[in-house]
Chains A and B, each alone.
Chain A
């Protein structure tokens, strides 16, 4: 199977998953008690039954569940995610304004994770069971164990309060401004730490495993320099396991950004989601959840493709 056919096949497999993702998103919000209209009615006894029905119609909450889903998914496919009840902004508008903030944060987190984890993992594997390895293992274990919200608070405590390098409450520059990098440091580290630690562990294990394989001895027997053996032969094989992990880590970074944005008061989609949940903004909740699901499915797809590029054996399954 050529790489192109492999990609095409994976893309087709994605379609039913995306459909399922939309069903789950919808079901989550609609199969449980407490839609915003009943809440509105509960809070405001003056609303008449006729008005309630009208409100339901307005927000697409009348009819059977199936009809509601059809209306919703139809609107979503045409780019209409409905309005925010509280502010009557369009949900799509909120998404578009918040998205860059979250992307900036997530990207910073990913880059931080890779830059820290890959060299450390390689170092640890090469120096297995020596001091540096032990130290990096303890750090990695801490990294996967530390709750990100607490890490964020601690970074603020140290970086902003004790060292005074950052000003917690101060307004930041626009998201595209280069100075933004400075403001991204603390939340970026917070969001990337768990991923960095996971990659470090996987990198170490898979690298150590690869180093024991016979092709490494064979490469040495060919007289290749150690550097080349590690960077060319071993690293590429070890990266295969990291790529398998990458989609999972993307999910962890997405989930992490929800918490971290709240800690750092970062105006992204995650903080928006928390606020939407507190405010029972179901259109917003559904839109962000659906978006998250889509994003992760696509990340999975990308990881699969990257996997096939790195490992020629996969394409021939």
Chain B
């Protein structure tokens, strides 16, 4: 500084009048680009998601497969037919050689695009209907476990202290076991069947959500608006559900999307291990279990690939699409979180 002021005194500028710029008419039509437009947070997430082609393909496939599962066979609720459409050419359980001129283990043809399995059933019909169990169990399980985990994690994170300590140690204990092994044992104890499978993945499935939620709550709890709400004397329950939960939910949504795929694989895996639905059921995993002996070549040395390829490909396609959606949701939410709109990264 000494250089500039030595003996020369202090500089003062006068006549730089900022108001002049504000008051005058703009000289050109150039305008400062205004930052974020006033659109809602979720609208922006959806806008971003919509631009993600991969995620949209995933969403389409999931929607189509779910619809096919619903409309494959009529749906009856307590003896009442609520959905009369039947897309599948044959009842999935029907043994075809009784009424039709087909034999077991026939490769795919025009009339049976995915072939005939070892019990003389139409594989195409079975694959169409086979998503019913896995897909619906996937959604049901995620809805239940997500809710439980959300509440559990919020309580743990919000109250902290020894409550948090105890609650999280319980989560640690549960997470010490692979979900599939826990589900196997639960099914082995309760027996197979639809609601047993739901229970198998629900009883312990909430633990990961709880841990995620707690982490988010801990982060958000320190935010000023939460502090302010608390300082103003808002009730705990109100603070949690009004201020914390809505902000902590994004990572849970991402996990939930991916979790649907995991549960679908899990249900199929149990079916494959003979622990899921009844052996003859048209469920993707159970079909693979039935088809396992088809791996051993038939009498003529022919390889009966269609029996295992199609049901498994259906699971693969569904789960892959679900993961594509999950990635898309993640990207959409992530960008939202960090405020990086349209950046090339991620």
Contact = CB atoms under 8 A, between A and B. Distances in A.
- Direct A–B touching in the complex (beta carbon < 8 Å)? yes
Main secondary structure of the interface of B (DSSP, over half): helix
B336 to A, nearest CB: 17
Given A33-B189, A154-B312, A157-B308, A296 B176 contact: yes
Contacts of A296: 176-178
Contacts of A263: 292
A171 interface: no
Nearest to B58: A141
A169 B296 contact: yes
A289 B320 contact: no
Interface string A162-184: 10000011000000000000000
A224 interface: no
A144 B309 contact: no
Contacts of A129: 344
A29 interface: yes
B324 interface: yes
Interface in A229-255: 251-252, 254-255
A129 B346 CA distance: 10
A285 B177 CA distance: 13
A142 interface: yes
Contact of B295 (A161, A289, A297): A161
B273 A292 contact: no
B297 A161 contact: yes
A186 interface: no
B273 A262 contact: yes
B268 to A, nearest CB: 6
A217 interface: no
Main secondary structure of the interface of A (DSSP, over half): helix
B295 A157 contact: yes
A153 B179 CA distance: 22
Interface residues of A, number: 51
A32 B190 contact: yes
Contact of A17 (B172, B179, B261, B274): B172
B283 to A, nearest CB: 13
Nearest to B344: A129
Contact of B189 (A20, A29, A168, A252): A29
B269 A17 contact: no
A296 B177 CA distance: 7
A105 B220 CA distance: 43
Interface string A44-79: 000000000000000000000000000000000000
Interface stretch (B23-31, B80-88, B180-188): B180-188
Contacts of A154: 308-309, 312
A141 B258 CA distance: 12
Given A141-B323, A150-B316, A157-B305, A289 B272 contact: no
A247 to B, nearest CB: 9
Contact of A153 (B185, B268, B312): B312
Contacts of A28: 182, 185-186, 189
A150 B312 contact: yes
Nearest to A150: B312
A195 interface: no
B177 A153 contact: no
B327 interface: yes
Contacts of A29: 185, 189
Nearest to B289: A149
Nearest to B190: A32
B275 interface: yes
A145 B269 CA distance: 13
Contacts of B285: 147, 149
A20 B173 contact: yes
Interface string A280-298: 1000010001001100110
A17 B308 contact: no
B319 interface: yes
A294 to B, nearest CB: 8
Interface in B221-248: none
A203 interface: no
Interface stretch (A4-12, A92-100, A114-122, A271-279): A271-279
27 contacts: A20-B169, A21-B176, A24-B173, A24-B174, A24-B177, A141-B327, A145-B323, A146-B316, A146-B320, A147-B268, A147-B315, A148-B269, A150-B312, A153-B288, A154-B308, A156-B295, A157-B305, A157-B309, A162-B303, A168-B295, A251-B175, A252-B178, A258-B180, A259-B273, A262-B272, A273-B181, A300-B176
Pairs A-B, 7 closest by C-beta atoms: A150-B312, A255-B178, A32-B189, A20-B173, A145-B320, A277-B188, A255-B180
Interface of A: 16-17, 20-21, 23-24, 28-29, 32-34, 129, 141-142, 144-150, 153-154, 156-157, 161-162, 168-169, 208, 212, 251-252, 254-255, 258-259, 262-263, 273-274, 277-278, 280, 285, 289, 292-293, 296-297, 300
Given A145-B320, A150-B313, A292-B177, 10 more contacts: A21-B173, A129-B344, A142-B320, A148-B269, A150-B312, A153-B295, A153-B312, A251-B175, A258-B181, A292-B178
